[in-house]
């Protein structure tokens, strides 16, 4: 064999190895029992592990088995029906579906796990994009004095919404390391609202999803968020969508009664608890998803209004929801017990699951049915 032929053989071998390493990974397979078989094409990997919503939400993960073709695979125990997230740890590095052909969505970083898969049985999911009449999502921007920067708020309005319509408005707060996009892009808030309005499970409503994040999407002090919501976010959103105006933009005629609800997940639940319990006259209801509890401190000292349970009697709902495997469970149960002792009616939903979007989506769906 001459040098030219040897070079051609070596180059062809190297090219073929590269092609093998970049072949598409087979998409995850949902099995009849709602278990999922995951695949990853990583023939040169020494170890591949799965992290997911339910079975192993963080390292070290569940090990996959390598096949003779270089494809790693694993079949999990069954999931609950719904949208779940997952990722792989390849030789210690967190990654997604490399070169995947799966028709799935990806959650924004730093959400972990961040790949998405719909695990469905015979019934549609409440988060599906269904053939119903759809509302509109607006992205509004204004200058915040409190936060000293430009901020955005996502606003969903129901189908055929007319400005000034007497419509409940639900403010949804995001968690730490998230921003104003979270409830719309990851929480599927407008899909849930569209489906529930169409099926008459919930009334026509506005959803307002403001940015409550600090630098690098960090958390902000509760007092600052409270002032920002009350003095800036509420007037801006309600002035733009709920105020009756004439053709030249002047306020006119009787104005709609504002039925305002406040809810959030994780750190957003803590902000909702702080602002909601301190200002009960502003809200028709409150929702705390995977948060809102107290690790320490006395509830009455932090929120003196709770000493007057009559201030909360007008609220249609005070709703806590948290998973059995959520690290915040003990704090939330402690908070619930204190409210019971104070005579403040509320609902507690302890579900399956963990501190993740699978739960926050379904908590939102249940909360909207109660407004």
Based on the fold, state whether residues 236 and 325 are members of the same structural domain. yes
pLDDT at 243: 81
Mean pLDDT per block of 10 residues along the chain (371 residues) reads: 50 42 76 95 93 86 94 95 91 74 55 81 92 97 96 97 91 92 94 97 97 83 96 95 64 73 97 96 97 83 92 97 95 93 96 94 97 93
Instruction: Domain of residue 84: give its range.
Output: 3-119
Count Cβ neighbours within 10 Å for each residue of 216-252 and write b for 16 or more, e otherwise. eeebbebeebbebbeebbbebbbebbbbeeeeeeeee
Full-model pTM: 0.87
Based on the fold, state whether residues 188 and 107 are members of the same structural domain. no
pLDDT at 60: 87
> For residue 113, is the peptide bond before it cis, meaning its omega torsion is within 30 degrees of 0?
yes
Characterize the bridge pairing of strands 29-30 and 36-41.
antiparallel
Characterize the bridge pairing of strands 48-52 and 36-41.
unpaired
Based on the fold, state whether residues 108 and 168 are members of the same structural domain. no
Based on the fold, state whether residues 96 and 177 are members of the same structural domain. no
Based on the fold, state whether residues 91 and 170 are members of the same structural domain. no
Based on the fold, state whether residues 220 and 310 are members of the same structural domain. yes
* Structural domains in the chain (count): 2
Tell me which of 85, 119, 153 is where a domain ends.
119
pLDDT at 10: 46
Based on the fold, state whether residues 23 and 102 are members of the same structural domain. yes
Based on the fold, state whether residues 166 and 101 are members of the same structural domain. no
State how far the Cα of 127 lies from the Cα of 196, in Å rounded to an integer. Answer: 10
* Strand partners of residue 56: none
Based on the fold, state whether residues 234 and 208 are members of the same structural domain. yes
Residue 125 within any structural domain of the chain: no
Based on the fold, state whether residues 220 and 359 are members of the same structural domain. yes
């Amino acid at each position: 064999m001459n040098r030219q032929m040897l070079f051609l053989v070596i180059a062809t071998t190297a090219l073929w190895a590269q092609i093998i390493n970049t072949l598409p990974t087979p998409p995850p397979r949902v099995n009849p029992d709602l278990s999922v078989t995951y695949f990853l094409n990583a023939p040169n990997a020494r170890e591949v592990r799965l992290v997911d919503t339910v079975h192993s939400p963080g390292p070290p993960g569940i090990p996959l088995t390598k096949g003779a073709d270089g494809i790693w695979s694993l079949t999990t125990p069954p999931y609950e029906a719904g949208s779940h997230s997952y990722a792989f740890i390849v030789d210690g590095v967190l990654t997604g579906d490399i070169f995947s052909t799966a028709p799935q969505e990806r959650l924004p970083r730093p959400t972990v796990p961040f790949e998405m898969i719909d695990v469905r049985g015979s019934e549609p999911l409440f988060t599906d994009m269904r053939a119903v009449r759809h509302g509109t999502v607006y992205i509004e921007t204004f200058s915040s004095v409190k936060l000293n920067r430009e901020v955005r708020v996502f606003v969903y309005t129901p189908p055929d919404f007319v400005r000034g319509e007497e419509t409940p408005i639900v403010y949804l707060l995001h968690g730490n390391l998230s921003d104003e996009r979270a409830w719309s892009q990851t929480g599927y808030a407008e899909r849930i609202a569209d489906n529930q309005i169409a099926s008459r499970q919930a009334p026509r409503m506005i959803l307002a999803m403001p940015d409550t994040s600090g630098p690098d999407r960090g958390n902000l002090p509760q007092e600052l968020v409270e002032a920002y919501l009350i003095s800036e976010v509420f007037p801006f959103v309600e002035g733009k969508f709920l105020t009756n105006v004439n053709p030249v933009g002047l306020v006119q005629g009787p104005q709609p009664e504002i039925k305002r609800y406040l809810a959030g997940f994780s750190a957003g639940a803590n902000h909702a608890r702080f602002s909601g319990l301190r200002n009960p006259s502003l809200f028709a209801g409150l929702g705390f998803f995977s948060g809102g509890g107290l690790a320490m401190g006395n509830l009455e000292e932090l929120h003196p209004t709770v000493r007057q349970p009559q201030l909360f009697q007008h609220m249609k709902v005070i709703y806590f929801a948290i998973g059995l495997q959520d690290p915040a469970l003990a704090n939330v149960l402690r908070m619930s017990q204190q409210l019971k002792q104070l005579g403040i009616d509320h609902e507690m939903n302890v579900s399956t699951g963990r501190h993740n979007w699978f739960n926050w989506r379904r908590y939102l769906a249940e909360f909207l049915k109660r407004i």
